[in-house]
Amino acid sequence: MWKNFRNVLQGLFLLCGMNLFTYGQTDSLALKNDSINNANLLEYDRKLAEVEKERLADSLKKAELEAQLLKLKTTDNLQKIDLIQQLETIKENEKRRIANKIAQIDSLKNTAKGYPVLGFKNDTLFYIYTKMGAASPKERAVSISNKINQLYQDDFLIEDSIRISDTEETYDIVYKDLIIASVSENDALWYGKSKKELSENFQQIIKSAIVQAKDENSWLKLLSRIGLVFFVMLVAWVFIGLIGKGYTRLVINFDINKEKWLQDLSYKDYTFLTVDQETQILLFLIKVLRWFVYFLLLYITLPIIFSIFPFSRDWANTLFYLIWSPFKGLLISIWTYIPNLFKILVIYFVMKYVIKFVKYIFQEIEAEKLVLSDFHSDWAMPTFSIVQFLLYAFMFVLIFPYLPGSESAIFKGVSVFVGVLFSLGSSSAISNMVAGLVITYMRPFKIGDRIKIDNVTGDIIEKTLLVTRVRTIKNEVITIPNSSVLTENTTNYSIEAKDKGLIVNTTVTIGYDVPWPKVHKVLIEAARRTDMIMDEPAPYVLQTSLEDFYVAYQINAYTREASKQALIYSSLHQNIQDVCNESDIEILSPHYRAARDGNMTTIPADYLPKDYKVPHFNVKLDKGKEEQ
């Protein structure tokens, strides 16, 4: 149990340390608000000084008129009436001046805050709003607080000797020769009372605060408070022990019964969480709950302890403020942000359905239900991707001013930093994206086309803004950046194959001893025997060159199966061999050199007559030379 209590205390110190930073921020904010409050009160005092000059002038004139009125004889009625009228004018000015003061005070009450006069326990007794002479409201409040503390320190203080003294301009609260506080007309106007009523109110507050403070700091009170502190700590200790034991029992029971209480969280053949994983998560949540209860207990206990002693009662308020202030600020921020949140949601949903409508239009174009002149159907979805990106970018521009912190310098700095990183690190990606857009509208190929890019031949299986993927005839998937596709020559075998047919061609070389019409007939026959070769247009032969030892013949044939060229060429080559052998034609490619007498022909034995024999060498001798 002691270990748990020690851990809780450590957590509390950590919490207090974290809150000091918040308190520092709050303190800076309080200083800022205090300076604004000072400015408002100083502006009021400036206006008040102007009114006070008028009041002094009227007061002097009033005294002068009253003196003249006393000197007049009873027979000077006309002059007396004139003096009385002037005095009435001064009274009206006085009423108007007071009404003006009250109006200014009422306008300040919503914004300006007074400075507290503090008692011995640092509790607020009353507030000072106006200056007096050269002393500001804050200086007056501090001076009155110090004088009250001085009276409290006086062991021979007689509370009934605190009295009120009436002067010409103010009511003073005095003790012997010490003026504790002075109440002016401006002070009375702030409280909506007369000077006498307000001075009596302040007098009673000061006397009560001193008497109560002396009573609370007696030895009997001190001992009872110490005992109460120990009692509160004992109760907290018991609760901490009960929480620790309850946590231990809960963990043990949970470990024993976890197989009964829990089961694997799965969907079909995939298991999201096993029983052990669920157990770890729940134990973690229980541990978090235990610490939360510890902090809640301490949060309740410490203010109770602090409130027992008068000098520490403000500590409880400070502790509550430190912890509650961030949550209060967060809740206020959320509440004030709700209108902006609704604006963001409205923009998002409007843009969402606009994008759905635009997508529907482009899907209709892609399905060729909606035909636009000079706009190909295969442009529809790539164009939609561009329009969708621009609409989302426009939506972000509309939403950005409503994001929390969007006006702060830090938010703007981070945005600029991310933009710089993106621009520096994505130059190749941007070039590929631009190339992807160009390729989309150039339409050099589409998905499924058989193409050749540089040395890569295969079928297009994917086309994005960044890359193009090609599957070769060996089932190799090759990824080519779009910038490379744009700079290389691209051969598309499929683009005309469906309508006009793709011409497949191959070259064979035949000796000069074979008539060319026979070779043409043989090669065309070989093409007709080949699967996937079209009958119309008919195959044809071109004689491409006359070499030293043979003639080069090129067979050309049409096919619609551009993606099966390897199979077509293989079958065509087989048929060429078969038909040439059937027609007793030797293919002299590659170079083939042989002495015909005494050597078997290159035609396979299956195609030769059954009585075919390899010829012997024929040697011819010159008898005349032999005899010599």
Q: What is the pLDDT of residues 541-576, one digit of tens each?
A: 999 999 888 899 999 999 999 888 889 999 999 999
For residue 184, give both structure tokens: 């002016």
Q: Contact at 8 Å (CB) between 435 and 445?
A: no
Is residue 66 a part of any domain in this protein?
yes
Same domain, residue pair 238 and 187: no
Domain that holds residue 259: 220-308
State pLDDT tens for residues 149-193: 888 777 667 778 888 888 877 889 998 888 888 988 778 777 878
pLDDT higher than threshold 80 for residue 406: no
CATH number, domain containing residue 481: 2.30.30.60
| Cα separation, 407 vs 230, whole angstroms | 52
Q: Within 13 Å of residue 235, how many CA atoms lie on the same side as its CB?
A: 12
State pLDDT tens for residues 41-72: 565 566 555 555 665 665 666 666 666 666 66
pLDDT higher than threshold 70 for residue 111: no
When divided into structural domains, the chain yields a total of: 6
Largest CA distance in the chain: 199
Contacts of residue 365, Cβ cutoff 8 Å, sequence gap at least 6: 371, 372, 375, 377, 379, 380
| Cα separation, 343 vs 401, whole angstroms | 11
| Cα separation, 353 vs 349, whole angstroms | 6
Is residue 620 a part of any domain in this protein?
no
State pLDDT tens for residues 301-313: 887 887 777 667 6
Same domain, residue pair 385 and 440: no
Same domain, residue pair 197 and 130: yes
Same domain, residue pair 542 and 602: yes
Amino acid at 157: L
Same domain, residue pair 510 and 603: yes
Is residue 482 a part of any domain in this protein?
yes
Length reported for the chain: 628
| Cα separation, 471 vs 486, whole angstroms | 19
Is residue 437 a part of any domain in this protein?
yes
pLDDT higher than threshold 70 for residue 271: yes
Which one of 272, 292, 308 terminates a domain? Answer: 308
State pLDDT tens for residues 488-518: 888 888 888 888 889 999 999 988 888 999 9
Same domain, residue pair 379 and 447: no
pTM of the model: 0.43
At residue 20, the pLDDT reads 42
